[in-house]
Amino acid sequence: MTSVEITNSETGKIYKFFDAEVPNITYSMNTKLLKETLPDDDGDDAIIINLGREKSWRFPFKMLNTTGTSESADPTGSIYTPTQKQEYLRNTFISAGIEDLYLITLTTLHGTITGVKGIVEDISIDFNGSNPESLNGSISFSVGGGGQ
């Protein structure tokens, strides 16, 4: 059981990925380092500057045809097909504002994580699939950022 609910903090719009649509979620934390060596140095005495940590959440998704059920991508209950879902995600939900924050709630077998604030780092949708009942893609959020 894995599901994700994302709220656009600027517009209040909601997008939900339901259990069958999210096979897994990955959390990562990386340290951002600037490493430089002096001219003619062998690299053993490199200057290393710690620029802080970067946290992110990423997950693949599969937009499924949910026609005839109460599950939809938006709270109005009118978006069911993969075509409708990707159009809503691309054209309505993900805004062009680089400072727009998204609130993320993740529900997994290992607990529910709420209050994650982040910005969209990357989103991709694979339109090459041959099944009209589903559409694959992935999305990643950088934790923090925006106008916090």
Read off the pLDDT of residues 5-32 as tens digits, 9 standing for 90 and up.
999 888 888 888 887 889 889 999 999 8
What are 146's strand-pairing partners?
none
Using one digit for the tens of pLDDT, what is the confidence trace for 108-148?
888 899 989 999 889 999 998 788 888 999 999 999 755 44
All structural domains of the chain with their residue ranges: 3-31+46-143
CA distance 100 to 119: 7
- In angstroms, what CA-CA distances link 6 with 44, 137, 139? 45, 16, 11
CATH classification for the domain delimited by 3-31+46-143, as one of 1.10.150, 2.40.30, 1.10.10, 1.10.357: 2.40.30
Please state the pTM of the whole predicted model.
Answer: 0.78
- DSSP secondary-structure letter at 85? H
Determine how many CB atoms are found less than 10 A away from the CB of residue 105.
15
